[in-house]
């Protein structure tokens, strides 16, 4: 009887595994606490409970996740709202199934005490080569600055060497590293885009419209389990960090728990609605319109992108 029971349990487990829908998720950057909710949803079994067998992979620095999504190498990815709008303008039919970010964490940091607002024509500003720098283009055009943009993969060393006059940074990532570098970045040295009418929400989860139409239930399940993962992070930050650090170690990312702890805290702050402090996972129509207007006015897209263009 014991052998029969064990055999039955093995068969049930195998049948359950076969019944799970296999999907791949590739976030827009390397393994770090920025994606803690997805790691938790995977490791705590939230995806499996929703009938999904999720593989989490990470992109190279040379290929955008939009390309990977279009080529079918993943079914879900994350990107910032401005980048999603540009992708839609360029012909990628996207659907936002979950909006994790509700605030912008983008900052512009001046070198050696410089106020970024005083930078002028010819000043060198570091931007990511992988994208996510559209607000700097908008700021540059609207204020007639004439910056010379310098693309980077890792901007901290470039900035600290004095090779650039200012750099873009995320409040949950590079800004934390710069603050650990014993340089003065207080006061007007840090320009917060969110404080200057550029509070455009960032990370959301996207899939192609073709995949959404063919697999609406899987998309809803992925969104539901991911939201649950982020809420679990909020309630159990130390355990969530344990999971993050395992992903960091497995992917050989040079960081430490202190930095990842600060990152998770800031990411969770950015996931809340700035008007009321509540957690929400919906993409707001007015924010899509605001972002589209900025891009269109600066001729970074050929046509205005509407809320319905990138939602269900």
Q: Is 36 exposed, middle or buried (0-12, 13-18, 19+ CB in 10 A)?
A: buried
pLDDT tens digits, one per residue of 23-44: 999 999 999 999 999 999 999 9
pLDDT of residue 184: 80
pLDDT at position 219: 98
Instruction: Measure the CA–CA gap between 89 and 304, rounded to whole angstroms.
Output: 8
Four-point Cα dihedral 248, 252, 258, 259, nearest 10? -90
Give phi and psi for 308, each to the nearest 5: -70, -20
Q: How far is CA 127 from CA 107, 137, 170, 237, in A?
A: 11, 10, 11, 31
Strand partners, 204: 79, 99
Best CA proximity match to 22, nearest among 47, 1, 4, 43: 47
Chain segment 126-151, per-residue pLDDT in tens: 998 777 899 999 999 999 999 999 99
Q: What sections of 59-215 are H helices per DSSP? A: 65-70, 81-89, 134-142, 155-160, 174-179, 209-214
pLDDT at 181: 86
Q: What token pair was written down for 193?
A: 């885009």
Listed in sequence order, the residues at least 6 apart from 93 whose beta carbon sits closer than 8 Å to its beta carbon are 208, 209, 210
Residue 12 to residue 18: CA distance in whole angstroms: 10
Cβ distance 198 to 138 under 8 Å? Answer: yes
- Interatomic CA distance for residues 224 and 38, integer angstroms: 11
Runs of H (alpha helix) within 169-271: 174-179, 209-214, 216-235, 237-250, 257-270
Ranges of residues in the chain with a pLDDT under 50 are 4, 7-17
Looking at residue 16, what is its pLDDT? 46
């Amino acid at each position: 009887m014991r052998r029969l029971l064990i055999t039955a349990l093995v068969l049930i487990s195998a049948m359950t595994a076969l019944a799970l829908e296999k999907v791949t998720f590739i976030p827009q950057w390397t393994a770090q606490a920025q994606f803690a909710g997805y790691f938790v949803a995977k490791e705590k079994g939230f995806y499996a409970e929703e009938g999904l067998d999720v593989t989490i992979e990470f992109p190279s620095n040379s290929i955008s996740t939009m390309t990977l999504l279009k080529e079918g190498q993943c079914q879900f990815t994350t990107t910032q709202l401005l980048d999603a709008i540009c992708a839609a303008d360029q012909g990628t039919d996207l659907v936002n199934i979950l909006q994790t970010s509700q605030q912008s964490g983008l900052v512009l940091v001046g070198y050696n005490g410089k106020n970024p607002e005083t930078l002028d024509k010819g000043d060198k500003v570091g931007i990511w080569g992988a994208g996510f720098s559209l607000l700097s283009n908008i700021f540059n055009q609207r204020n007639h600055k004439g910056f010379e943009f310098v693309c980077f993969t890792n901007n901290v060393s470039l900035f600290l060497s004095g090779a650039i006059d200012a750099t873009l940074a995320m409040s949950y990532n590079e800004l934390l590293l710069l603050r650990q570098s014993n340089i003065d970045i207080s006061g007007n040295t840090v320009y917060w885009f969110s404080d200057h009418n550029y509070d455009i929400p960032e990370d959301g989860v996207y899939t192609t419209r073709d995949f959404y139409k063919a697999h609406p239930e899987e998309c809803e399940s992925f969104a539901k389990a991911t939201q649950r993962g982020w809420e679990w992070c909020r309630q159990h930050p130390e355990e969530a960090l344990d999971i993050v650090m395992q992903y960091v170690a497995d992917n050989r990312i040079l960081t430490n728990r202190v930095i990842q702890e600060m990152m998770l805290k800031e990411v969770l702050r950015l996931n809340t609605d700035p008007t009321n402090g509540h957690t929400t996972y919906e993409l707001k129509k007015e924010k899509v319109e605001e972002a589209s207007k900025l891009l269109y006015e600066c001729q970074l897209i050929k046509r205005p992108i509407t809320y319905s263009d990138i939602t269900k």
